[in-house]
Amino acid sequence: MFLSRLLSIGTGLFFSLMVLRNTTIQEYGIYGNLGDTLSYFTLPALIIPFWTTRFTARNHVGAPKTGLAANLLLSTISAAIYMLLLPPITSAFQIGEAYIIIYTIVVIQILEFYTLYAFESILHAKQPQKIGYGFLIFEVCRVVVGYILIVQRDLSLFGAVTSVIVAYTLQLTFYLKLTIHELQGKIRWSYLKEWFKASPINLYDIAGQRLASFVLILLFICAGKVARAYYGAGLTIANIIGYSSLLAFALYPKLLSKADPQDISTSLKLVLMFAIPMTAGAMILSDSYVTILEMVEFAYRAARPVLIILAMSVLCISLSSVFSTIVSGTEQVDKKAKIPFRKLVKTRLFLIYTLPYIKAAISLPLTYFVLTSMAGTPVEAATLLAAIILVTDMPLLYAYYAIARRCIDFSMPWKNIAKYVGASVIMALVLHPSVIPHPSRVIYTVAITLVGGAVYILILLPTDREARSLAKSIIHEALRMTKLSKQ
């Protein structure tokens, strides 16, 4: 999973550059708003998959087929609601008639999201690595189709949206082939009854996350499309740090089957081994990263402080997601395929679902005040919003950690963290512009990034046993795959 995301950095960056350099700044702001808007219509998309993964991991017969059928039904309902609300949505956002068609065709993505989440919930329980393969199919297809539509056909925003829809279609086809044997048998309506009975707690979780992310809607409305574009540019780079949390992707199904503190310790080491240097690299090379996003008529250099702040925020979110996984994976309330809702509300699972509401209660009024009273320019608005998010994410990180520790006794790898931080500091010193001038071209920026990664690894390997073990595992797996390919 992590490797697929690392490989997708190149494809994702190439796609982002195609969109950035073939759309106006206002269109790129609209592109970001499309995702923000759709997220509210895919709120129920993760409810059924949450329980599908848990039931499938515990070998409850019929769970995969039941989960897929239920999500397909929900997707149809959500798509219909979106189409009914489309006129007032475009009116509220002051979207011109030229872009109405864009907001219309993305309804297909709603149907795809629900189906995608259903398939991935099945694979997550038994074959989590296959999700990485599917993601690579999506990335490659998105770039190929995007190049044809955006660059060669000059379809700009329409081409970007269409290429994503086509890429999801191919990914879904691949997932269907992988899970076809899991979809045999009958739909278990008894499962569906339990899932829908427990669905309020899932809605509570998802609604809290969407409520907290409403700050992006406020940014779009109060500060405009350009401010949203600045924020989106910084987030494009910062989100790469979040890929590190995928190193703990297999922790969830393992905890569902058997809770072992050693698995948690291993996952934390893997995540932090990559997240810490990636954060340091994003901060020290922020000027180069935002420069490569520049368009012909617009420069994103001013978004550098946005990227620096968001890099720290994404680090907090990545670690919080691991702690959240620990809470979810150790919860036993549904172990016997029965979900007593009253007991569910009293679990620590419900407690972590409450944290986004605390974040929203702080960030929403503060964001509105800052955007309407303090932000003078679009870049100031984006930077201040990033700072607000970081200020709320840091204390929430400790809250996630405290709740996870109450679920199972595990140890934080503080000695390893100290090694990762020390190696990252040395890497940052080597990458400082006074030592190595920061480039503005993509190929040189990639080269400098690889130099930084090499410095970090060379410093870490002699001092960290887990790093050496991981390196040996990677080499062994690469050799095994090479032998298989020759055969």
- 423 in a domain, yes or no? no
In 3-state terms, the chain is what percent helix, strand and coil (to 5)? 85, 0, 15
Task: Say how far apart CA 449 and CA 83 lie, in whole Å.
Answer: 44
How many C-beta neighbours within 10 Å does residue 472 have? 10
206 and 158 in one domain? no
Which alpha helices (DSSP H) does 147-224 contain, by range?
A: 156-179, 189-212, 214-218
- 201 phi-psi bin (left φ>0, alpha ψ -120 to 50, beta other): alpha
Question: Are 384 and 215 spatial neighbours (Cβ–Cβ below 8 Å)?
Answer: no
CB within 8 A of 264, min separation 6: which ones?
251, 255, 326, 408, 410
Question: Are 34 and 106 spatial neighbours (Cβ–Cβ below 8 Å)?
Answer: yes
How many C-beta neighbours within 10 Å does residue 485 have? 7
* Cα–Cα distance list, 442 to 46, 234, 279 (Å): 36, 16, 19
Residue 62 clears pLDDT 70, i.e. is over it:
yes
- Mean of pLDDT values over 235-248: 85
CB within 8 A of 477, min separation 6: which ones?
none
CB within 8 A of 440, min separation 6: which ones?
288, 291, 292
- 365 in a domain, yes or no? yes
Look up tokens 């990636």; give the residue.
Answer: 278
Quick: pLDDT tens for 187-224.
888 888 888 888 888 888 888 988 998 998 899 888 88
262 and 150 in one domain? no
Question: Are 183 and 64 spatial neighbours (Cβ–Cβ below 8 Å)?
Answer: yes
* Cα–Cα distance list, 57 to 87, 124, 127, 485 (Å): 42, 8, 10, 31
* Amino acid sitting at position 391: V
User: What confidence score (pLDDT) does residue 294 get?
Assistant: 65
Quick: pLDDT tens for 5-33.
777 777 877 887 788 778 887 887 888 88
Lowest mean pLDDT among 258-272, 332-346, 449-463: 332-346
290 and 406 in one domain? yes
Compute the half-sphere exposure of residue 484: CA atoms within 13 Å on the CB side of its CA. Answer: 6
- 6 in a domain, yes or no? yes
- 484 in a domain, yes or no? no
Confidence of residue 296 (pLDDT cuts 50, 70, 90): very low
Residue 104 clears pLDDT 60, i.e. is over it:
yes
Instruction: Give the helix/strand (H/E) hosting 117.
Output: helix 107-126
- 319 in a domain, yes or no? yes
Question: Are 113 and 48 spatial neighbours (Cβ–Cβ below 8 Å)?
Answer: no
Task: Say how far apart CA 322 and CA 320 lie, in whole Å.
Answer: 5
Quick: pLDDT tens for 108-150.
999 999 999 999 999 988 888 889 889 889 999 999 999 999 9
Residue 337 clears pLDDT 70, i.e. is over it:
no
Count of domains for the chain:
2
Based on its alpha-carbon atoms, the radius of gyration of the chain, rounded to whole angstroms, reads: 22
CB within 8 A of 82, min separation 6: which ones?
38, 41, 107, 110
Look up tokens 């993305």; give the residue.
Answer: 106
Residue 256 clears pLDDT 80, i.e. is over it:
no
178 and 282 in one domain? no
Task: Say how far apart CA 228 and CA 93 lie, in whole Å.
Answer: 13
User: What confidence score (pLDDT) does residue 232 get?
Assistant: 86
246 and 181 in one domain? no
Residue 481 clears pLDDT 70, i.e. is over it:
no
For the chain, report the end-to-end CA distance as a whole number of angstroms: 25
- 419 in a domain, yes or no? no
Q: Is 346 helix (H, G, I), strand (E, B) or coil?
A: coil
Task: Say how far apart CA 149 and CA 22 lie, in whole Å.
Answer: 11
pTM, two decimals, is 0.77
Residue 462: Cβ-neighbour burial (10 angstroms; 0-12, 13-18, 19+): exposed
Average pLDDT of every residue of the chain: 87
How many C-beta neighbours within 10 Å does residue 257 have? 12
List the domain range (segments joined by +) for residue 87: 1-187
Confidence of residue 471 (pLDDT cuts 50, 70, 90): confident
244 and 313 in one domain? yes
User: What confidence score (pLDDT) does residue 210 get?
Assistant: 84
Quick: pLDDT tens for 36-48.
888 889 888 888 9
204 and 138 in one domain? no
Torsions phi, psi of 340, nearest 5?
-70, 110
149 and 177 in one domain? yes
Structural tokens at position 135: 């993601």
Task: Say how far apart CA 370 and CA 381 lie, in whole Å.
Answer: 8
220 and 180 in one domain? no
* Amino acid sitting at position 236: T
- Please choose, from the candidates 156, 288, 314, the residue with its C-alpha nearest in 3D space to the C-alpha of residue 235: 314
- Please choose, from the candidates 4, 5, 469, 8, the residue with its C-alpha nearest in 3D space to the C-alpha of residue 273: 469
- Please choose, from the candidates 273, 253, 255, the residue with its C-alpha nearest in 3D space to the C-alpha of residue 264: 255
181 and 224 in one domain? no
Question: Are 389 and 244 spatial neighbours (Cβ–Cβ below 8 Å)?
Answer: no
Last residue of a domain, one of 412, 433, 462: 412
Structural tokens at position 96: 């011109």
Instruction: Give the helix/strand (H/E) hosting 221.
Output: none
Residue 297 clears pLDDT 70, i.e. is over it:
no
**Crossing angle for the helix pair 63-92 and 107-126, to the nearest 10 degrees:** 150
352 and 307 in one domain? yes
Last residue of a domain, one of 153, 187, 221: 187
364 and 222 in one domain? yes
Confidence of residue 478 (pLDDT cuts 50, 70, 90): low
- Mean of pLDDT values over 415-432: 94
- 476 in a domain, yes or no? no
- 466 in a domain, yes or no? no
Q: What is the DSSP string of 423-434?
A: HHHHHHHHTSTT
Last residue of a domain, one of 353, 383, 412: 412
Structural tokens at position 124: 């997550």
